[in-house]
Amino acid sequence: YIFSLSCASSCVLIGFLLTHGIRSTFHAEVFYRWIFTRIFPIHVTCLLIQIYLTAAVALDRFILICLPFRGQKWRSPKRAVFVVVCISLFSILYCIPFWFEFSLVKEQNKTIITISKFGSKRLFRLLMRKYLYFIFVFLLPLTIIV
């Protein structure tokens, strides 16, 4: 768990630097626009993986401390790999719509980042950015940790 959590955290940091750090440090707007539309969905996916791996580590530690004998069947390297793979697959599937949220549009010899037709739909905004986000990114991991 810890190794995969550190890998996910590294990806989140790299994604943050690429999506936010380049723009403010180098004023590289053209490069920023191109890289933002490609790195942002990966960044969001790694962030979700990081959240759920943190919850998995908390649950694993709870089982280790509070249920040391009954929890042995739940704590094995094979099961840990299975949990990491399941969390990764869930996060990738959940974040697929974010790949279609933004697009690059050329206007008057300039390229700008805009919300795509898919990303601007009311259903997408309500589901992905409000209700499902609240449930899967906030409520469920918080419930697991608590």
Per-residue pLDDT, averaged over 4-14, amounts to 92
The interaxial angle of helices 29-66 and 2-16, nearest 10 deg, is 160
Position 93 pLDDT exceeds 90? yes
Domain count for the chain, please give it. 1
Reference 141, options 30, 20, 5; nearest CA is 5
Q: At 106, which CATH number?
A: 1.20.1070.10
Please state, rounded to an integer, the average pLDDT across all residues of the chain. 86
For the stretch 104-138, pLDDT in tens is: 888 887 777 788 888 888 888 888 888 998 999 99
pLDDT at 112: 77
Half-sphere exposure (Cβ direction) of 2: Cα atoms closer than 13 Å: 1
pLDDT at 17: 84
Report the predicted TM-score, pTM, of the whole model to 2 decimal places. 0.84
Per-residue pLDDT, averaged over 28-46, amounts to 81
Q: Could you give the percent of the chain with pLDDT greater than 70?
A: 93
Give me the domain span that covers residue 127.
2-145
Q: Is 68 helix (H, G, I), strand (E, B) or coil?
A: coil
